[in-house]
Chain A
Amino acid sequence: METAVHLDGITKRFPGVVANDNIEFEVKQGTVHALLGENGAGKTTLMNVLYGLYEPTSGRVEVAGEERDFDSPRDAIDAGIGMIHQHFMLVDPMTVVENITLGNEPRKWGGLAVDRTAARKAVVEIAGRYGFDIDPNARIEDISVGEQQRVEILKALYRGADTLILDEPTAVLTPQEIKELFGVLEELTAQGKTIIFITHKLGEAMRAADEITVLRDGQRVDTVDAGTTTRNALAELMIGREVLLDIDRPSTETGGVVASVSDLVVDDDRGVRAVDTVDFEVCAGEILGIAGVDGNGQSELIEAITGLRAPETGTIRLLDENVTDNSRRQRIEAGMAYIPEDRQDRGVVMDFDLVGNALLGSQHSSQFQSSGRIDWDKTREHAKTIINEYDVRTPGADTSAASLSGGNQQKFIVGREFERDPEFVVASNPTRGVDVGSIEFIHERLLELREAGAAVLLVSSKLKEVQGLSDRLAVMYEGEFIDLVDPTTTTESELGLLMAGQQPDDTGGDEREGESDLTEDPTDVTTGGERV
């Protein structure tokens, strides 16, 4: 088999840091090659070198056997390299065809006008060749994230890419969309395209790739065959030590009710009902999980509980106090910690350094003030504690949040929120974009908080995570809790069906109107799949 891409002894230095240290990387044509590593292992840097965004400090780049020297992505694209970034580079109000052909539009009238018919034809032709099912006239803002990703892939193909680099492509996708993506990758490689797939998820690397190269701390650890390796072996290569992949959840005594929600109705930004009459209670020493496909009202529910969105009706109680009309600040002061869903928009102030970010949410607390003045020394100490305890990889506390990778931002947020000594923790996808070693760590901390008597409300789109951590698991579908199950006795496929709005033993197959009175008695619901 021919070599599509060969990176020979790539070293990339940044001031004070060696991001890539003499890395050998070879990808065979027509295969899927996973580049696996923790956050900050140097995966993205290496691919940015290949894509012409960075010039390597030393080392050679070979594409299809020819040595290349890329000054910019334009050169890389000309050499047949395409990159699909984690954050899509699409113009929302424009159509699929317009986005794909943007900058390379077919021309007519001597180059004076865009030949829309030809553009459309070309896009339909490429989409057909690789079996993409996409409406060429749909606007980007109207299509799903998975479809947007396919538009990105089509864009790269349209520009003549033979090797596609996908940076964490599954981070934004639902399980179903991930499955579809892997199908697309298979189709692409069957037609001779080469895929490089950056990820920190072991399972996905094993599922989708033919070969896996593992990076750690800027160095290549090994390249293994995906078919013969095991999850544990990969994890060990990645972390450098043995990792416990399974969540060990000790049983604890549940205490009294810490937080409760009754008859909660919440509308989304457009005024459409997002949460429809939800009730539940979370007790001290308990993790209540909410599973569901993204966009079924979880975000709005969490925002209403944490005080970022006013509910239409219903009550939210925290420690026997009605907090429905309380401000966000009052809720923080009452002992609520919150790991937000969107870390870069809410969780950190990107332009602040980590010291400033350590104060977010506690700026009015007397803990960080001395006689009405913010005690920056104390705050700095606090930031350093978070950095050390939660293994935030950063040159120091004075680094801006914007220059941290997503996973490290997440670890910092988790650290800040957990260090509040909360009574009630609301965690929305607490391990999104975080590497295996840190996932394990965050899970342990969550369980520690639970053991210490905190009540935890956990929303996650990772089924394994909610299932492994939760004492009780609610499934949310179209704004309602359609079921509350015991996570230990329910299978993944049963949960999958529930998440799709069906009861596993539902004979009629019709969707049920949820009068899910889950608050009545949490001990009552134990068996999986049973009606509440």
Chain B
Amino acid sequence: MSVIDHARRVLERLVAASATERILISSAALLLSILLGALLVLIAGRMTTCTVGDAVYYFGTGFCYNPVLVFDRLFLGALGDPFSGAWSPEGQFSVTLRETTLLIFTGLSVALAFQAGIFNIGTQGQMVVGGLATAVLVLQASSVVSGVIGSVLLIPFGVVVGVVSGGLYGSIPGILKAYSDANEVITTIMLNFIATGVTLYLVSGVFKDPESPANRTVPLPEYAQFPTVIFGGRQDFSLVALACGLLAIGGLYYLLEYTAFGYDIQTSGLQPGAAEYGGVDAKRTIVASLTLSGALGGVAGSMYVMMVLGTFQSGLPAYGFDGITVSILAGNNPAGVAFTALLFGVLKSGTTVVQFATDVPPQLVGVLRGLIILFVAMPEFFRLVGQRVVDPGSKPVATDDGNLEATDE
């Protein structure tokens, strides 16, 4: 009982934490995960063999892996070594930003659904559908226009194709949930498989590039891909796409905070009973928010095709699933998604740098990444748990007891 009481108090404390406190807690968690990770690197380094020259020495003991170097590469390497004086926009930093851009869209997709109280696991599928639709339709349209005018017309067109196709694909679980009470977790997972399977069939058949052995569509002409600004073309990153991502963050924030539709979404997510009472059409809100969520996933697909690959190839990386973590880590807050997407971008791009620079096995780097995410996510996770466990109705009231003056403002 006393253990439960204690746990309850900790949860209450977490639920009551202010924004500053939450940032401090997250920072402390990040630091702690790095310390624990460093320890793991040291232990792993004791259990392997290496030449004397490669080893580092702490307290007179030799270790094969250098934890300082590992974390230096993981973070500073991912940022393109900003303190080395040799920083260039062509370097690793643009890889980080590329990953960030894609994760912003998938993260927002999941976050929007979460705001409405819906768990959209289907962002991956919506991204796949949006990607293929963009690759096919932009290719068709690119035969009509070309050059600079082609870029100006085709890129927005591609994004719109992503929005529409992803949105339509997202509306399917929405309609199923609203009108036949089908659990969205199940339907979106199933629709992920369907999206992957059907697109594989299409790119290995009708839409297959005859000149390539891979299952991919005919590559888009250069002018139908995102232009590279400042950041050179070597790393497949476009500042324009990142700007679109930031615009989407701002737009979603505005939608949630300043529009009646956003109010409806949040109310439904927090308290469906009150939403219904307040005149929110529950069915419409479910369909609309999943459609919008799918549209954002679809845009991630367009971006991937028009910025990274230049074609649609089966087996898209799991940006959609990473989006779930990005969103939860950000507390499903659009503004927070910017930061967590960057953190994920850094970790993803830093992993490859670590593998180049050290002998640390990739599995261990994966463990370090996992630790960081786990530690940063846990306080927020327990906050969510706490909000459910600590019933506000039975919580003794501290704010209004006998406080008469406060109302006379």
Partner-B contacts on A (CB < 8 A): 14-19, 21, 39-42, 44-45, 48, 53-54, 72-74, 85-87, 103, 217-219, 308, 327-329, 331-333, 338, 340, 342, 344-352, 356, 359-361, 363-364, 369, 372-374, 376, 384, 387-388, 391-396, 399-400, 402-406, 408
State the Cβ distance, B95 to closest chain A Cβ, in Å: 38
6 A–B contact pairs at CB < 8 A?
A: A40-B403, A45-B397, A338-B277, A356-B263, A360-B267, A376-B258
B393 contacts the other chain (CB 8 A):
yes
Given contacts A350-B392, A361-B279, A404-B397, contact A16 B403 (CB under 8 A): yes
B260 contacts the other chain (CB 8 A):
yes
B407 contacts the other chain (CB 8 A):
yes
State the Cβ distance, B340 to closest chain A Cβ, in Å: 21
If A40-B402, A72-B5 are given as contacts, then 18 extra A-B residue pairs at C-beta distance below 8 Å, sorted by A number, are A17-B398, A17-B400, A19-B398, A44-B396, A53-B396, A72-B1, A87-B393, A87-B394, A348-B274, A359-B263, A363-B263, A363-B267, A374-B258, A374-B259, A387-B407, A393-B403, A399-B400, A406-B393
The 5 A-B pairs at the shortest CB distance, nearest first, are namely A329-B279, A402-B392, A218-B402, A19-B401, A346-B277
Instruction: Pick from A374, A391, A408: contact of B260, CB below 8 A.
Output: A374
CA distance A85 to B277 in the complex (A): 27
Chain A residues closer than 8 Å to B54, beta-carbon distance: none
CA distance A352 to B274 in the complex (A): 11
Q: Is the CB of B400 within 8 A of A404?
A: yes
Q: Is the CB of A45 within 8 A of B270?
A: no
Q: Taking CB as reference atom, which chain B residue is nearest A18?
A: B402
B409 contacts the other chain (CB 8 A):
yes
Chain B residues closer than 8 Å to A352, beta-carbon distance: 267, 270
Q: Is the CB of A351 within 8 A of B271?
A: yes
Chain B residues closer than 8 Å to A346, beta-carbon distance: 273-274, 276-277
B404 contacts the other chain (CB 8 A):
yes
State the Cβ distance, B91 to closest chain A Cβ, in Å: 42
Chain B residues closer than 8 Å to A332, beta-carbon distance: 279
CA distance A354 to B100 in the complex (A): 36
Q: Is the CB of B403 within 8 A of A41?
A: no
B99 contacts the other chain (CB 8 A):
no
A interface footprint on B361-399 (CB within 8 Å = 1, 0 otherwise)? 000000000000000000000000001000111111111
Q: Is the CB of B396 within 8 A of A394?
A: no
B278 contacts the other chain (CB 8 A):
yes
CA distance A308 to B409 in the complex (A): 36
CA distance A344 to B277 in the complex (A): 12
B21 contacts the other chain (CB 8 A):
no
CA distance A408 to B404 in the complex (A): 12
State the Cβ distance, A501 to closest chain B Cβ, in Å: 31
CA distance A392 to B407 in the complex (A): 7
B184 contacts the other chain (CB 8 A):
no
Instruction: Pick from A15, A72, A331, A403: contact of B400, CB below 8 A.
Output: A403
CA distance A338 to B277 in the complex (A): 9
Chain A residues closer than 8 Å to B408, beta-carbon distance: 388
Most buried by A among B270, B387, B393: B393
Q: Is the CB of A393 within 8 A of B407?
A: yes
State the Cβ distance, A102 to closest chain B Cβ, in Å: 11
Given contacts A72-B5, A351-B271, A403-B400, contact A373 B259 (CB under 8 A): yes
Q: Is the CB of B274 within 8 A of A404?
A: no
B206 contacts the other chain (CB 8 A):
no
Chain A residues closer than 8 Å to B398, beta-carbon distance: 14-15, 17, 19, 45, 403
Q: Is the CB of A395 within 8 A of B400?
A: yes
A interface footprint on B249-289 (CB within 8 Å = 1, 0 otherwise)? 00000000111100110010011011111111100000000
Majority DSSP secondary structure for residues of B touching A: loop
Chain A residues closer than 8 Å to B280, beta-carbon distance: 328-329
B2 contacts the other chain (CB 8 A):
yes
Instruction: Pick from A42, A333, A347, A395: contact of B274, CB below 8 A.
Output: A347
CA distance A402 to B271 in the complex (A): 12
Q: Is the CB of B281 within 8 A of A395?
A: no
Instruction: Pick from B276, B277, B391, B397: contact of A44, CB below 8 A.
Output: B397
Given contacts A17-B398, A360-B267, contact A344 B5 (CB under 8 A): no
Chain A residues closer than 8 Å to B392, beta-carbon distance: 350, 400, 402-403
CA distance A360 to B270 in the complex (A): 13
State the Cβ distance, A73 to closest chain B Cβ, in Å: 7
Chain A residues closer than 8 Å to B144, beta-carbon distance: none
Chain B residues closer than 8 Å to A86, beta-carbon distance: 394
Chain A residues closer than 8 Å to B401, beta-carbon distance: 14, 17, 19, 40-42, 45, 218, 405
CA distance A372 to B254 in the complex (A): 12
A interface footprint on B1-21 (CB within 8 Å = 1, 0 otherwise)? 110010000000000000000
Instruction: Pick from A16, A72, A327: contact of B279, CB below 8 A.
Output: A327
CA distance A384 to B406 in the complex (A): 11
Most buried by A among B387, B396, B408: B396
State the Cβ distance, B14 to closest chain A Cβ, in Å: 15
Q: Is the CB of A384 within 8 A of B409?
A: yes
Q: Is the CB of B281 within 8 A of A329?
A: yes
Bin chain B's interface residue count.
Answer: 35 or more
CA distance A17 to B407 in the complex (A): 13
Chain B residues closer than 8 Å to A373, beta-carbon distance: 258-259
State the Cβ distance, A470 to closest chain B Cβ, in Å: 24
Chain B residues closer than 8 Å to A393, beta-carbon distance: 400, 403-404, 406-407
Q: Is the CB of B263 within 8 A of A345?
A: no
Given contacts A346-B277, A374-B260, contact A40 B2 (CB under 8 A): no
Chain B residues closer than 8 Å to A328, beta-carbon distance: 276-280
Q: Taking CB as reference atom, which chain B residue is nearest A342?
A: B273
CA distance A346 to B268 in the complex (A): 11
Q: Taking CB as reference atom, which chain B residue is nearest A403?
A: B399
Q: Taking CB as reference atom, which chain A residue is nearest B254?
A: A373
Q: Is the CB of B393 within 8 A of A344?
A: yes
Most buried by B among A21, A346, A396, A400: A346
Chain B residues closer than 8 Å to A18, beta-carbon distance: 402
CA distance A393 to B402 in the complex (A): 8
Chain B residues closer than 8 Å to A308, beta-carbon distance: 276-277
Q: Taking CB as reference atom, which chain A residue is nearest B6?
A: A72
Instruction: Pick from A17, A219, A333, A374: contact of B263, CB below 8 A.
Output: A374
Most buried by B among A44, A85, A403: A403
State the Cβ distance, A157 to closest chain B Cβ, in Å: 18
State the Cβ distance, A471 to closest chain B Cβ, in Å: 27
CA distance A345 to B281 in the complex (A): 17
State the Cβ distance, A19 to closest chain B Cβ, in Å: 4
CA distance A338 to B275 in the complex (A): 14
Q: Is the CB of A40 within 8 A of B400?
A: yes
State the Cβ distance, B20 to closest chain A Cβ, in Å: 16
Chain A residues closer than 8 Å to B270, beta-carbon distance: 349-352
Q: Is the CB of A391 within 8 A of B402?
A: no
CA distance A342 to B257 in the complex (A): 27
State the Cβ distance, B408 to closest chain A Cβ, in Å: 8
State the Cβ distance, B2 to closest chain A Cβ, in Å: 6
Chain B residues closer than 8 Å to A74, beta-carbon distance: 1-2, 5
Chain B residues closer than 8 Å to A364, beta-carbon distance: 260, 279
Q: Taking CB as reference atom, which chain B residue is nearest A393?
A: B400
Q: Taking CB as reference atom, which chain B residue is nearest A332?
A: B279
State the Cβ distance, A518 to closest chain B Cβ, in Å: 27
Chain A residues closer than 8 Å to B258, beta-carbon distance: 373-374, 376
State the Cβ distance, A405 to closest chain B Cβ, in Å: 5
Q: Is the CB of A345 within 8 A of B403?
A: no
Instruction: Pick from B278, B279, B399, B402: contact of A42, CB below 8 A.
Output: B402
Q: Taking CB as reference atom, which chain B residue is nearest A77?
A: B1
Instruction: Pick from B281, B396, B407: contact of A45, CB below 8 A.
Output: B396
Instruction: Pick from B281, B393, B394, B402: contact of A41, CB below 8 A.
Output: B402
Chain B residues closer than 8 Å to A16, beta-carbon distance: 403, 406
Instruction: Pick from A350, A388, A391: contact of B271, CB below 8 A.
Output: A350
